[in-house]
């Protein structure tokens, strides 16, 4: 005898996630943008911690100080700044969790979004541990530098998440000539080298993140000559600018869209101006902080520029059970 209603009485896996989106909608796009914005803001607040010498405002990790997870009056303003930066990480975690939940039902239809959201979430614990190690190692410049490298990677992931949520999955059709794509790859390499040498420049300069270590000693630096590293940093920075000019001129001559390379050129122009000015004015903290934030913006716009070289299927498109193209 057939048992009436048995199937209906069992909740399906899909119903467990209702009313989460089954396709990209405004919620997904907003959360993707929120992820990107908070990643860049965190670069700014991390810079604030470093530039106000608050890197050891919470002298231990995961607690802020022995016996307290939050800052105490004894920590002063440095404790407030460092603890505030740690709190913002929890805001990011909240947004990233929501982002992952927003695409969890799309694992088969939009796998590129699922993997990008997963990668973003998986990177945050790594970032938190490296941030803790930077405190426990008394702001070792290489550990602090790795902290920024992960932030740069997270900005790149979030940028791709925004692009794919708005434009849809990638298709193999090129929208530009192959030489243009090759220049785009050179541009990516130049930006990566610029960021890495910028990290070394900061790690060699005067902004160590705190006045002294917990033990009262002088904070360690990389040992490189700051002037030499600064000059080396300028080489890939200007190469990035020239490669972007090639993309913009090439787009104009070939009748291609110029919005992305033009936006990238504007960001680079401002970034180079800030970089030169800070070098000539003894590295004022405001300009150094702006330079760091602009580095995050540069990474995001570079990602968009390169992604725009291939066609996208549109927000409503789905991949289905096909093997997804790389994002």
Tens of pLDDT, residue by residue over 121-151, are 999 899 889 988 988 888 888 988 899 999 9
Give the pLDDT confidence score for residue 319 in this predicted structure: 58
pLDDT band for 52, please (50, 70, 90 cuts).
confident
pLDDT at 100: 94
Alpha carbons 149 and 145: distance in angstroms, whole number: 6
pLDDT of residue 158: 96
Residue 314: pLDDT over 80: no
Strand partners, 312: 170
What gap in Å lies between CA 80 and CA 84, rounded to an integer? 6
Report the residue count for the chain: 327
Are 297 and 152 in contact, with CB atoms under 8 Å apart? no
User: pLDDT at residue 210 above 80?
Assistant: no
- Tell me how far the alpha carbon of residue 248 is from its chain's centroid: 25
* Average pLDDT across the chain, whole number: 86
Decide if 285 contacts 225 (C-beta within 8 A).
no
Per-residue model confidence (pLDDT) at position 325: 47
The pLDDT value recorded for residue 10 is 53
pLDDT at position 72: 83
- Output 55 or 237, whichever has higher pLDDT: 237
In the predicted model, is pLDDT for residue 290 greater than 90? yes
| Rg over CA atoms, the chain | 23
Assess whether pLDDT exceeds 60 at residue 233.
yes
Q: Rounded CA gap, 57 and 291, in Å? A: 23
* pLDDT bracket for residue 322 (50, 70, 90): very low
Q: Is the entire prediction scored with pTM above 0.85?
A: yes
b/e map 165-189, b = 16+ CB within 10 Å = bbbbbbeeeeebeeebeebbeebbe
Give the tokens for residue 68. Answer: 């307290």
Ramachandran assignment for 224, one of left (phi > 0), alpha (psi -120 to 50 degrees), beta (any other): beta
pLDDT at 211: 67
């Amino acid at each position: 005898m057939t048992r009436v209603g048995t199937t209906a009485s069992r909740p399906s896996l899909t119903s467990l996630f209702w009313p989460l989106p089954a396709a990209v909608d405004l919620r997904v796009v907003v959360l993707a943008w929120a992820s990107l914005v908070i990643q860049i803001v965190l670069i700014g607040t991390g810079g604030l911690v470093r530039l106000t010498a608050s890197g050891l405002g919470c002298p231990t990790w995961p607690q802020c100080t022995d016996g307290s997870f939050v800052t105490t009056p004894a920590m002063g303003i440095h404790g407030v700044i460092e603890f505030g930066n740690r709190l913002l990480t929890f805001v990011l975690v909240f947004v990233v969790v929501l982002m992952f939940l927003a695409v969890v039902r799309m694992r088969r239809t939009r796998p590129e979004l699922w993997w990008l959201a997963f990668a973003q979430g998986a990177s945050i614990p790594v970032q938190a541990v490296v941030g803790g190690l930077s405190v426990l190692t008394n702001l070792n410049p290489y550990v602090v530098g790795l902290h920024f490298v992960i932030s740069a990677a997270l900005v790149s992931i979030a940028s791709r998440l925004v692009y794919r949520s708005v434009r849809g999955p990638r298709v193999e059709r090129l929208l530009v000539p192959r030489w243009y794509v090759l220049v785009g790859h050179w541009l990516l390499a130049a930006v990566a080298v610029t960021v890495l040498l910028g990290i070394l420049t900061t790690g060699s300069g005067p902004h160590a993140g705190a006045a002294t270590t917990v033990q009262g000693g002088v904070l360690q630096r990389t040992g490189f000559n700051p002037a030499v590293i600064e000059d080396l940093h300028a080489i890939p920075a200007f190469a990035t600018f020239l490669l972007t000019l090639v993309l913009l001129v090439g787009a104009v001559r070939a009748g291609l869209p110029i919005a992305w390379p033009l936006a990238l050129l504007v960001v680079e122009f401002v970034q180079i101006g800030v970089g030169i000015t800070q070098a000539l004015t003894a590295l004022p903290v405001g300009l150094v902080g702006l330079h760091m934030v602009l580095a995050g913006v540069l990474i995001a716009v570079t990602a968009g520029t390169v992604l725009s070289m291939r066609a996208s299927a549109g927000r409503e498109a789905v991949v289905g059970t096909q093997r997804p193209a790389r994002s």
